[in-house]
Structures are given as C-alpha cells and as structure tokens.
Amino acid sequence: MENRVWSFGPALAPAFAACAAALLALPGCLSPRGAEAPPPVPAVLAALEDAPWADPGRVIAEVDGRPLTQGELYKRILRQYGTARLLTGVITQDLVIEEARRGGLSASREEVARKVDEVLETEARRAGGRDALEREYARAGLTLQDVRRDHEREVGTQILLAKVVKSMRQVDDEVLRKYYQETYASTRYQARHVAFSFRPEQGQGEEDLPRLKLEAYNKAARAADRIRKGADFAALARAESQDPVTAERGGDLGLVRNDGRVPEFMRKVFDLRAGDVSDPVENPLGGYHVFQVTAVVAGESFVDCKDAMRREILEAEPSLEEVASVLMKLRADAKVRILEGGGAVERPEGQGNEGGARER
C-alpha cells in the first residue's frame, strides 16, 4: 500500500486517472478497441466528430439569437486549450495506441463499463444521490447519457495507458529487494477506514468550523458504535465515507507498514489488534476517521514472497511519475514531425504536397 494523507478534496478517482488525463492533454480521444458502442448523440454533434472540416460556416447552436458556427467552435477550443498542447496530446495518444497495438493490449467493454459505473457511483454519492446528480448535470445542459459517453472515452484512455505502462516494467532483483524492504520485510496491518470531513464547503466560513467539526465527530462516533454492534464495515464505508477513493472499495486501505511515511493521525492503526475498531481519530487536514484492522501480517523471508512481490509490482496501478516516464520514453523513441508549412497528409489515393517540417 502507498501511504497517503486524506485531504478530503474533490477528487473523484484515484490519482492515476487524473494524471493520465493531464499528461495526455486531451481526455476522451482514445476509444478502446472492443469497447461497447457509446449511446447515440444528436446528429449535429455526431457531424462535428465525424466530419469536423466539412462546413465551418454551419450554424450548430444559437445563444440568445446569436449563431455559433462549427468553425467558431473549433477556433474557440484551440484558443482556450492551446493548439500546441492539444496537438501534443493527440500525438501522445497515437503513440500510446501504437504501443498498445504492438503489445496486443486493449480495453474490453467490460473493463470500461465497470470503471464508468464506479465513476458515476462516486459522483452520485458526492452529489447526494443519482437524482441529484442528474439535476446537477441538467443545469449544465447535459444528460447522464452524455456524461456516460464522455466517461467511456476517458476511462478507455486510462485503462489502455495503464496497461501500456505496466507492460514496460522491468522487474529485476534490485527492484524486488527494494520492494521487499518497503513491504514484506516487516509487520503489516490490513486496515480499512470510514472518513467524515469537517472542512467548510462553498458558502461556509471559519465560523461554521466548530459546528462542522462536532457533526463530523458525532457521525464518526455513531459509525464506530454501529460497526462494533455488527454493522457491515464495507457497506457502511461505501454509503457514508467521504474519502471518495477508498469508499468505493469499502474503505480498504490495503496493507499498512509501520514506517516514517505514515501520517501521525493514522498511527492509531498500529495500536489495534485484528478485529478492533478505533474511536474517532482526528485528521488535521479536516476530518475524523474510524479505523479497523482486519489482520496483522508478520514479516516474511525474501525467498518465500518473491513470486508474490513480482505479481504485485507488475499489477500495481501506475504512479504519476511512472506514467510521465513512459510517455517521455515513447516520445523519445518515436519519429514525430511537426509540419511548419502546413504540408498535406499523404492519403492512399494520392500523394500530398510536402511542407516544411521539423522533428520532435
């Protein structure tokens, strides 16, 4: 387990999802092979995706009677997000697609659907339920069908990129021994938690903090009491925990190792025996946690856990640094030309004109 501090921020997915989107620059451009067909879109929007160059003067919307043309939409997108940044993102995505193709990697429709369901479930919990989420998107002119289609594209990107990163890992003896010292060499605690935030939200100020803090403490105390009386911990965490990353997996924190990287408030875990439930523990970043240890795992010898470590390393979700490193390598190994003179793209039916070019 990678120890982290819960800041009760607005994140809706693990860090990898965010960094994948950021590093690829354009979320949603990578549709996985074999993915389930997205829901139908209005004809005017489908035309924008299928033939963006066809008719720049075509009016696609009106705002208070003022027409918005297809060409104006594209110009605004390029200006808002930056042409160079978008181009770099598309090139990077192409490199990921090609690397996945060479390795026989793909994102199945089941993988995409499962991950999208998790994302929408997390968003619904944040919004206060499915109906509340639908109303929230409706105010922005979107339906859940629209949102699901966009999530399918983003999730397909993230899944495929993760597989590419994992496929490029080199697990030698040095890597295994370093991992061993961080994990199996010492006693670890299988732990889970439920978290309740007392950070002021929009429209609230510091004057609300004492009340919010008391409310969060009482929620945590009631949760601890219910768990001790037999309530299902995982179900309670999914329904009530305000840590969006762990809530969807029943509050699971994985195996926690007693080392200097564990934040002070979380060290309460090491005082618990298997089955014990803690009283509310304050997180200085703005919340209360209820911890439970489900197992205490003694250290093991290097030889006994070597195969397990290799599997864990190869299957672990990529970190931001690892994703960045792989994308830099793909870019460095590729021959990419940016055409300075607007050279035409060569097509199967004929040769395009050569324009000035530079390699990156």
Domain that holds residue 264: 186-298
Q: Would residue 7 count as lying in a domain?
A: no
Identify the band that residue 42 occupies on the pLDDT scale cut at 50, 70 and 90: low
**Residues 64 and 147 occupy one common structural domain:** yes
Whose tokens are 């489908």? That residue is 46
The pairing of beta strand 252-257 with beta strand 287-297: unpaired
Rounded Cα distance between 92 and 170, Å, is 22
The predicted-structure confidence for 62-102, as pLDDT tens digits, reads as follows 999 999 998 998 899 899 989 889 898 889 989 999 999 99
Most confident of 13-27, 88-102, 115-129, 287-301: 287-301
Q: Give mean pLDDT, residues 191-206.
A: 90
Q: Is the pLDDT of residue 22 over 90?
A: no
The predicted-structure confidence for 254-309, as pLDDT tens digits, reads as follows 999 887 778 899 999 999 999 999 999 999 999 999 999 999 999 999 999 999 99
**Residues 154 and 213 occupy one common structural domain:** no
The predicted-structure confidence for 132-174, as pLDDT tens digits, reads as follows 999 999 998 888 888 998 888 888 888 999 999 999 999 999 9
Q: What is the pLDDT of residue 9?
A: 34
The predicted-structure confidence for 163-179, as pLDDT tens digits, reads as follows 999 999 999 999 999 99
**Residues 118 and 27 occupy one common structural domain:** yes
Length of the chain: 360
Percent of the chain at pLDDT > 70 equals 81
Q: Tell me which amino acid residue 39 is.
A: P
Rounded Cα distance between 153 and 116, Å, is 10
Q: Tell me which amino acid residue 230 is.
A: G
Select from 152, 164, 165 the least CA-distant residue to 29.
152
**By CB neighbour count within 10 A (0-12 exposed, 13-18 middle, 19+ buried), where does 91 fall?**
middle
**What's the structural domain count of the chain?**
3
Judge if pTM exceeds 0.85. Answer: no
Greater confidence (74 vs 43) lies with 74
Rounded Cα distance between 86 and 92, Å, is 10
**Residues 111 and 231 occupy one common structural domain:** no
The structure tokens listed for 25 are 């620059």
**Residues 203 and 131 occupy one common structural domain:** no
Q: Tell me which amino acid residue 217 is.
A: Y
CATH of the domain at 248: 3.10.50.40
